[in-house]
Chain A
Amino acid sequence: MSSKALKPPAHINTSPMYSFQLRRMGLTALVTLFASTILVAFLMPFAYMTLTSLKNRDQIVNSTRGTVLPVDTVTFDYEGETLDILNVPFEDGMRQLAILQRQRRSSTFIDPTNPSADPVVWEGSWRTLDPVRELSPRWDNYRTAWQEIGFPRLLFNTAFIAFVGLIGTLLSCISVAYAFARFPLPLKNVMFMVLIATIILPRQVMLVPTFAFFSYIGWTNTWLPLIVPHFFANAYNVFLLRQYFLQLPRELDEAAMIDGAGPFKILTSVIVPQSWPVIISVALFHLVFAWNDYFEPLIYTLGNPKLQPLAVGIQQFNFLYGAEPHLIQATALLGLIIPVLLFFFAQGVFMKGVVVTGVDK
């Protein structure tokens, strides 16, 4: 085509290297922009939650007409009357005036910055004028939500269940993973396969007799069914820990053994000190799991609302008491804030752990 005729000016570098870089930069911008668009869509619900949680009832009504931010119309008190302030266009620019008399063809306004001056008359229909709005987030929605769901008690319940369970899962899973990683046991591989197979067993089948049993010994409506089972190991965590223990050099165990350390001492002073990364990752998994767990807390604490953790408490509050949109979103935020902060605090460790369970299996 005409490209031959178009000679580039001398100051533009047309060497192959340069155009390659340009192409690369263009592609980077394109791909990154595309990913950003998807990310914005992905994170939009968080914005919706936050903005809705800061609105009051009127602002929520306005949001059905398209107002996104928690804004209020601005008013002005004039001789005992509350007047709306509108944006009024004049030839020399927009002025913000309080409307005194609304009439079809022309309206009378007061200048809020100078109320003693004569009223201003503006020709035109006041209905075409936009009200002046200002950002007015209702932070006290959080206080209301906090009080109405009884946040401190729910938080304590959740944290207690999560942390005692954490101790249980760490003690038991480290012990079991150590057994699988280091000791010569008959049928060890078969037992390990059985352990992993329990992941795919539908838990409903075990749930009915377990529930009946816990109910029989009087454990329903206590925290025991939510805590005690964690002291007996679980497949995911044992798998993760065993993978890690297996790759630790045995020479250190043997050296400790020659120095007279028994198996328990080897675990506490050789294996565990080398395994903090995986132990922390297991601990984080457990905390997030316990924090977000819904089903078992639901069935075991249904009869005693005082014992409910956050997940159950928030659902019951929003569902049973028909909370309003802003309170629902405020409780949703209260529910997710701690796991999300925990995740951002330790996301590297967390995501590495996910990858190990997923890829090695």
Chain B
Amino acid sequence: MFDAFRGRQQKEPVSSLAREQQIWGWIFLSPWIIGFLAFTVIPLVASVVFSFLDFQLNKPDEITFAGWKNYRLLFTDPLVRDSLVVTFKFAAISLPIGMILPIALASLMNNKYLAGKRFFRTLFYMPFIVPVVSAVFIWRGMLSTQTGWINRILGLVGIPGPDWLNSQVWIYPALVIIGIWGIGNAFLITLAGMQGVPTAYYEAAKVDGANPFRRFWSITLPLISPVIFFNLILSVIGLMRYFEVPFIFNGGNGNPGGATMFFNIHFYKTTFVFFDMGYGSALAWLLFVITMILTLILFGTAKYWVYYAGAKNE
């Protein structure tokens, strides 16, 4: 079948070849084009339409135009406000820890005195591979006041452990701990970033009398800032779509006392339990706008603190 292709190529050497190549290019690209239209563009448009409808999935014959009703509901639904508060409260606790710990762990793994680096790196990464369902059940046990080891260890050093899972306050640290268990990815990327810093910089700084802290602050951090930025963006997006851990914990009932009623659990129930596609779309758009604003703010600040060596622009 390629004989025809070759024959034409010889007759009209340049322009025809380029055209031919372009057609092949589109053919190879087509899975993404189709997928992008089918699973991103069309749903995006449909979601706008849905958000202006009264649309119950289990009553497909009763779809009516709702105007701004679904959006007005966002402001009167107390669960929207409460679940956003829960989401942001958790994000405020989780984000700093989720940003600092991977850097701290990567620094330790990058320490020249550490023996068995590969061994440590693999094992610190490993919990990231554990399915979230298993991780949640393991930690539910670890943090239990009955059989759990965390409170037992705290008890050994004389600290009375809290009732992590049934306290509206301590449930957040509990969720953060589960999150910390999965920092493997962020840690590994940060470590790779640190290993990419030219050692000549450190030697030059040493000659100038910079102490280790100063070298870390003025060389390591700026040079790995693109990696930190990447982790930051992914963390913020991840926190805005936080769902699985609290849902597996309690099936989305929000216990203790609504403390785990995250925005996405409200969204999940509206959409997939009550099948309210119209209001579900409005909720999704609210989240979309919040996430986009946060991402844009972060991208806006990037030029002040993210350092790109050379002309890397992607």
A and B associate: yes
Q: Which of B38, B149, B267 has the most CB of A within 10 A?
A: B149
Report yes or no: A185 in contact with B22, Cβ–Cβ below 8 A.
yes
Given contacts A261-B2, A311-B133, contact A48 B28 (CB under 8 A): no
Query: Are A202 and B24 in touch, CB under 8 angstroms?
Result: no
Q: Per-residue 0/1 for A337-360: is the Cβ within 8 Å of any B Cβ (1 yes, 0 no)?
A: 001101110010001001101111
When each residue 10-22 of chain A gets 1 if its CB lies under 8 Å from chain B and 0 otherwise, what string results?
0000000000000
Choose one: B31, B114, B124, B133; the contact of A314 (CB below 8 Å): B133
**Interface SS of A by simple majority:** helix
Whether A42 and B181, one on each chain, are in contact in the complex, defined by CB atoms closer than 8 angstroms, is: yes
A43 touches B26 (CB 8 A): no
Contact of A179 among B29, B267, B271 (CB under 8 A): B29
Does A60 sit at the interface, judged by CB under 8 A?
Answer: yes
Does the CB pair B134–A202 fall under 8 Å? no
Nearest A-chain residue to B35, judged by Cβ: A232
Query: How close is B134's CB to chain A, nearest CB, in angstroms?
Result: 4
- Taken together as a complex, chains A and B put the C-alpha atoms of A204 and B79 apart, in Å, by 18
B246 within 8 A of A: no
- Chain A residues with Cβ below 8 Å from B248 are 294, 315, 319
Q: Is B280 a contact partner of A35 (Cβ separation < 8 A)? A: no
Q: Are A336 and B21 also in contact (CB < 8 A) when A60-B147, A215-B57, A358-B189 are?
A: no
Q: Does A97 contact B (CB under 8 A)?
A: no
> Cα distance A312–B136 when bound, in Å?
13
A211 to B43, CA, bound (A): 10
A295 adjacent to B244 (CB under 8 Å): yes
A200 close to B25 (CB less than 8 A): no
Q: Give chain B residues whose Cβ lies under 8 Å from the Cβ of A332.
A: 133-134, 137-138
Is A305 part of the binding interface, using a Cβ–Cβ cutoff of 8 Å? no
Interface residues of B in 115-156 (CB under 8 A from A): 115-116, 120-127, 129-135, 137-142, 144, 146-149, 152
B26–A185 touching, CB < 8 Å: yes
Contact residues of B between 14 and 56, Cβ < 8 Å to A: 18, 21-22, 24-32, 34-36, 38-40, 42-44, 46-47, 50, 55
CB within 8 A of B122: which of A201, A318, A351?
Answer: A351
253-277 of chain B: CB within 8 A of chain A? 264, 267-268, 271-272, 277
Pick the contact of A204: B55, B132, B267 (CB < 8 A): B267
Evaluate contact between A208 and B129: CB separation under 8 angstroms. no
Nearest B residue to A311 by beta-carbon distance?
Answer: B133
Q: Is the CB of B251 within 8 A of A319?
A: yes
Contact A206 B43 (CB under 8 A): yes
Q: Which of A196, A210, A311 contacts B43 (CB 8 A)?
A: A210
Contact check, B39 vs A44: say whether CB atoms are below 8 A apart.
Answer: no
Q: Do A32 and B116 contact each other (CB < 8 Å), given the known contacts A204-B287, A292-B131?
A: yes
Contact at B272–A299, with CB atoms within 8 Å?
Answer: yes
Contact in complex: B50, A208 (CB < 8 Å): yes
- In the bound complex, do residue B227 and residue A358 qualify as a contact, i.e. CB atoms below 8 Å apart? yes
Q: In chain A, residues 295-317, which have Cβ atoms closer than 8 Å to a Cβ of chain B?
A: 295, 299, 302, 310-312, 314-315
Q: How close is B212's CB to chain A, nearest CB, in angstroms? A: 12
B225 CB–A CB distance under 8 Å: no
> B66 at interface (Cβ–Cβ under 8 A)?
no
Q: Which residues of B contact A180 (CB under 8 A)?
A: 29
Are B22 and A183 interface neighbours, CB within 8 A? yes
For B108, list chain A residues within 8 Å (CB).
Answer: 31, 34-35, 38
> A54 on the interface (CB 8 Å rule)?
no
Q: Are A202 and B240 touching (Cβ within 8 A)?
A: yes
The 8 Å CB contact of B113, one of A24, A212, A357, is: A24
CB–CB A184/B137 < 8 A: no
Bound state CA distance, A166 and B188, in angstroms? 24
Whether the Cβ atoms of A202 and B137 lie closer than 8 Å is: no
From A35, A205, A209, A260, residue with most partner B Cβ within 10 Å: A205
Enumerate the 5 nearest inter-chain pairs by beta-carbon distance, A residue then B residue, closest first.
Answer: A232-B35, A183-B25, A358-B189, A209-B46, A179-B28
7 A-B pairs with CB atoms under 8 Å apart are: A52-B141, A204-B241, A207-B284, A229-B35, A238-B32, A319-B248, A361-B314
